């Protein structure tokens, strides 16, 4: 066990420093086993991350438990100030973190990774200002009694993150959990752990030991141990539906709160009166084509009014052909790689289903890189599937790749019904100039985050979360911190 100051110059320094370690109570603690972390763009091994067993995972929870009582005693505003200082330490190292993130995720440095680090630091800093907003209420119960509620931390929070936007999802969990007086054990994604480690270690220097801890390993061993640890008081998870269901079952058995951010198949409804150029730009950004579509919020079901469909397809094709697919580290690149071969196989399986469907069209855009240094099998062209049956798996299920479905529509009631026809309910957007259509459709869409004439990503102060099998609970915003990272205590005083 040694304590190092994170004085890294290159991404390689970072991969070397975090070889086979967890970050527990401010120390790098070696694990017995490691797992390889691969650069998906080249196939090269970047380094070896910890493959924690149950005991090694439990050690982080023990450290977090030990630190929690004292952390909860720090005045809330002071906790916030420490968290805000931690956020600024992240912002100061933004370029290095982005370079690490691009190498481990295959996401392009210019279009994705720099922005992700900036947003992650911004979210943590936002929560740093909210310490004194953890307010309870006084209750008019009896004029001779003082009746009030207070907000208390839950204890140790287990925060489990996936690989697609690991830093933003880390920030949405760690920022509010810490400011609310909890301590945290983060389980980083085994596909892309190092940027998370770097961000966390930079933050730890501004926080008491044990308040923030990070473990890495497989979901089946490390993640499972974390969710079953009796000292964990709350689980917050972002990832796949199947794992979310498993974790929710474990949480139910233990009777602890569980927040889940799972998948989606978010509809984008383009009405006859929409501004078509805005809608095309919104489809590109909403579908997160520059993130290879690897977004839970991706606007992956585009319903465009029949009268606009041909023009929309033409403009979309032109815009997609303009995206440069290539080396994530190249400043000219717009679109990088898929995270791994398993995910590529899933994407290809869906596209093959569309190809086998009579009447459907499969359109691919842009050109794949021909650089011999890059691993060609992990690049997938932006793809549009159209004219599918409305209940086709490609229309109903999350693909989690750069594959969007475009379907024509003419009947307003019909398209609303289709928009609400999946078991998801994460996000939706409506594109119209009519206020009455905007009001009616936003009220009736079954989604937690509904926008009109835009497809923005998560904002720190705007509550975000899904309905249905897209999850439970909210992230971002003051309300999310208060509702999901504290518990309410009722106190009645009688001095009569
Ligand atoms: P995943 O569910 O396989 O893994 C997510 C995390 O959970 C990883 O850290 C993994 O190690 C861990 N894990 C796996 N099994 C576990 C278990 N049994 N117990 C505890 N932890 C376990 O998801 P992924 O492939 O990393 O990420 C892609 C998925 O994430 C997509 O389905 C996507 O829709 C979803 N996602 C959702 C949101 C959202 O906000 N709704 C955001 C991003 C990604």
pLDDT of residue 372: 87
| Ligand 1 centroid, distance to 121 Cα (angstroms) | 22
Q: Cβ < 6 Å from ligand 1: which residues?
A: 160-164, 187, 189-190, 219-220, 223-224, 227, 238-240, 243, 246-247, 261-263, 296, 398, 400, 426, 466, 471
222 is catalytic: no
Measuring from atom 43 of ligand 1, which residue has the nearest CA? 296
Tokens found for residue 44: 């090269």
Q: What's the CA-to-centroid distance between 114 and ligand 1, angstroms?
A: 22
The active-site residue, picked from 56, 104, 116, 173, is 173
Ligand 1 nearest atom to the CA of residue 464, by list position: 40
Given the residues 107, 296, 315, 394, select the one marked as catalytic. 296
Closest ligand 1 atom to Cα of 264:
34
CA 142 / ligand 1 centre spacing (Å): 48
In a mutational test of the pocket of ligand 1, which residue from 243, 259, 262 has the highest number of ligand atoms less than 8 Å from its CB?
243
Rounded distance, CA 101 to CA 20, Å? Answer: 18
Active-site option among 56, 191, 241, 475: 475
Of the residues 104, 190, 241, 261, only one is catalytic, namely 261
C-alpha of residue 189 to centroid of ligand 1, in Å: 8
The tally of CA atoms less than 13 A away on the side-chain side of residue 379 is 26
Distance 288 CA to ligand 1 centre (A): 18
Tokens for 399, please give them. 């693909």
Grouping H, G, I as helix, E, B as strand and the rest as coil, residue 379 is coil
> Is 261 among the catalytic positions?
yes
What's the pLDDT score for residue 6? 57
The closest alpha carbon to 343, from 105, 169, 117, belongs to 105
Q: Nearest C-alpha to atom 21 of ligand 1 is from which residue?
A: 223
3 state SS for the chain: CECCCCCCCCHHHHHHHCCCEEEECCEEEECCCEEEEECCCCCCEEEEEECCCHHHHHHHHHHHHHHHHHHHHCCHHHHHHHHHHHHHHHHHCHHHHHHHHHHHHCCCHHHHHHHHHHHHHHHHHHHHCCHHHCCCCECCCCCCEEEEEEEEECCEEEEECCCCCHHHHHHHHHHHHHHCCCEEEEECCCCCCHHHHHHHHHHHCCCCCCCEEEECCCHHHHHHHHHHCCCEEEEEEECCHHHHHHHHHHHHHHCCCEEEECCCCCEEEECCCCCHHHHHHHHHHHCCHHHCCCCCCCCCEEEEEHHHHHHHHHHHHHHHHCCCECCCCCCCCCECCCCCHHHHHHHHHHHHHHHCCCCCEEEECCCCCCCCCCCHHHCCCCEEEECCCCCCHHHHCCCCCCEEEEEEECCHHHHHHHHCCCCCCCEEEEECCCHHHHHHHHHHCCCCEEEECCCCCCCCCCCECCCHHHEECCECHHHHHHHHHEEEEEEEEECC
pLDDT, averaged per 10 consecutive residues of the chain (496 residues), comes to: 65 98 98 98 97 98 98 98 98 98 98 98 98 96 94 98 98 98 98 98 98 98 98 98 98 98 98 98 97 97 98 98 98 98 98 98 96 92 98 98 98 98 98 98 98 95 97 98 98 92
pLDDT at 424: 98
H helix intervals, 255-384: 276-286, 306-321, 341-355
């Amino acid at each position: 066990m040694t304590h190092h100051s994170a004085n890294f110059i290159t991404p390689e320094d970072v991969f070397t420093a975090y070889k086979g370690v967890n970050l527990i109570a401010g120390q790098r603690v070696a694990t017995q086993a490691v797992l390889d972390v691969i650069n998906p763009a080249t196939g090269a091994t970047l380094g070896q991350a910890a493959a924690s067993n149950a005991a090694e995972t439990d050690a982080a929870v023990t450290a977090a438990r030990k630190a929690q009582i004292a952390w909860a005693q720090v005045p809330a505003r002071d906790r916030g100030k420490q968290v805000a200082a931690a956020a600024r330490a992240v912002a100061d190292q933004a370029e290095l973190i982005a370079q690490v993130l691009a190498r481990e995720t295959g996401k392009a440095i210019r279009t994705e990774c720099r922005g992700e680090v900036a947003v992650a630091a911004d979210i943590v800093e936002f929560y740093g200002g909210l310490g004194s907003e953890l307010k309870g209420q006084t209750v008019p119960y009896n004029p001779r009694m003082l009746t009030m509620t207070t907000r208390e931390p839950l204890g140790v929070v287990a925060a489990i993150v996936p690989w697609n936007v690991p830093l933003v999802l880390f920030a949405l969990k760690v920022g509010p959990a810490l400011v609310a007086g909890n301590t945290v054990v983060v389980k980083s994604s085994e596909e892309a752990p190092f940027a998370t480690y770097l961000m966390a270690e930079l933050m730890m220097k501004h926080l008491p030991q044990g308040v923030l801890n990070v473990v890495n390993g497989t979901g089946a061993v490390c993640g499972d141990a974390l969710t079953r640890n009796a000292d964990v008081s709350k689980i917050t998870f972002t990832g796949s539906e199947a794992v979310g269901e498993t974790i929710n079952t474990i949480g139910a058995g233990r009777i602890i709160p569980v927040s889940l951010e799972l998948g989606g198949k978010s509809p984008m409804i383009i009405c006859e009166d929409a501004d078509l150029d805005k809608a095309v730009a919104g489809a590109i950004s909403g579908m997160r084509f520059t993130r290879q579509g690897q977004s839970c919020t991706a606007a992956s079901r585009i319903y465009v009014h029949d009268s606009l469909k041909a023009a929309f397809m033409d403009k979309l094709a032109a815009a997609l052909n303009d995206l440069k697919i290539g080396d994530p580290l190249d400043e000219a690149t717009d679109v990088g790689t898929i995270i791994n071969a398993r995910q590529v196989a899933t994407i290809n399986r869906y596209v093959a289903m569309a190809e086998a469907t009579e009447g459907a069209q499969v359109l691919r855009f842009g050109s794949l890189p021909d650089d011999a240094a890059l691993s060609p099998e992990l690049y997938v062209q932006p793809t549009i599937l159209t004219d599918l049956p409305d209940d086709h798996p490609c229309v109903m299920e999350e693909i989690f790749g750069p594959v969007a479905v475009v379907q024509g529509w003419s009947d307003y009631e019909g398209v609303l019904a289709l928009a609400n026809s999946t078991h998801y309910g994460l996000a939706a957007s409506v594109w119209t100039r009519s206020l009455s259509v905007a009001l009616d459709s936003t009220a009736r869409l079954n989604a937690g985050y509904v926008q009109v004439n835009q497809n923005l990503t998560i904002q720190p102060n705007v509550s975000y979360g899904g309905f249905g099998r897209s999850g439970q609970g909210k992230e971002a915003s003051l309300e999310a911190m208060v509702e999901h990272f504290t518990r309410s205590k009722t106190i009645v005083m009688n001095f009569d």
